[in-house]
Amino acid sequence: TIMLTPGDIVHTVTADEIAAGVAEITGLTSETEYTAKLMNGTRTRGTLVFKTAIDIGDAILVEPGDDLKALVEAANNGDTFALMPGEYNIAGDINISTSVGIVGVRPYDKPVIYGAILRINGGAGIRLKDVVMDGTTSDGNQTIVYNEDLPAGVYGPAVIENCVVRNYTKGVFYVSKIALIESVTITGTTYYNIECSGGDFIDFRQGLTRNFVFTNNTAYDSALSRDFFRMDAGGS
C-alpha cells in the first residue's frame, strides 16, 4: 500500500502499477504538502514528501510563448494567471491596474520571469506564488514599484509566497509614493543578488502598509551598504 497524510489516504498498489513502477493516486487537495509512505505490511519501504500543483480552476493558463505582459495589463479585477514551467521574457514594465495573481502551476518547476518590473497602479493588489522573478534583463529598478500616489484610497493586499527573487539592482519592494497598502505578506521566499544600488531592499518612503509580515524567508548576497527594511517616519 501507499499511505498518505494528511487525510489518512490508503492506496492499494496493483500488479500493473508494480510492473510499471508508477502509481496514480487521485482525490488529493491542490497546493497541499503530503507525506507518502510505501508500505509492505507494517514495514515502511520508502518515504516521499511532495506538494500538489495548483488547481487552476478559473485561472487563465499561460504558456511560455504567450505575451504575459499584454495579458496582465488587460486583466479584469481578480484574474489569476497560472504559468506553465518555462521562461517568460518581458520587454519593459508590466503596468498592473487591477488586482491580479501570477502563480506557477507546478511548485517544483517554477516558471522564470525575466526582466519584469511590476508597477502597481490605482489601488490594485498583487499576488505572486511559485514563480521566479529574475531582474537580470530589467532596467535596474525594484521588483515591485507602487507607481501612483493614492492619498484618498487603499491599495489591495500584496502577497508573495514561495517565490525566488534574484538579480534586481535597486531592491525588491518600493513605496515612494503617498500610498497606503492594506497588507504586505511575504512568506517562504528566497532572495539573492539584490544589490540595492539607489534604493533599500524593502523600501517604504512616503507610503506605508497597515500590516507587514515577513516570515520564513531567506535572503543572501543582498543589501550592500543599504537598509534591509526601511519604513520612513513620514510615510502616509
Give 15's DSSP letter.
Answer: H
pLDDT in tens, 24-83: 999 998 878 899 999 999 999 999 998 887 777 789 999 999 999 999 999 999 999 999
With beta carbons less than 8 A apart as the criterion, state whether 64 and 88 touch. yes
Running DSSP on this structure, what letter comes out for residue 58?
T
Find out whether 58 and 79 touch, Cβ atoms under 8 Å: no
Dmax over Cα atoms in the chain, in whole Å? 69
Instruction: Write phi, then psi, for 15 (nearest 5 degrees).
Output: -60, -40
Q: Cα torsion for 184, 189, 193, 196, to the nearest 10°?
A: 10
Q: Which amino acid is at 37?
A: K
Distance CA 176, CA 197 (A): 15
Residue 145 binned pLDDT confidence (cut-offs 50, 70, 90): very high
- In this structure, are residues 94 and 117 in contact, taking their beta carbons and an 8 Å threshold? yes
Asked if residues 236 and 209 have their Cβ atoms less than 8 Å apart, the reply is: no
Cα 14 to Cα 18: distance, rounded to the nearest angstrom: 6
Residue 236 is predicted with a pLDDT of 64
Pairing, β 43-51 against β 33-40: antiparallel
Mean pLDDT score of the chain, rounded to an integer?
Answer: 95
Are the CB atoms for 34 and 49 separated by under 8 Å?
yes
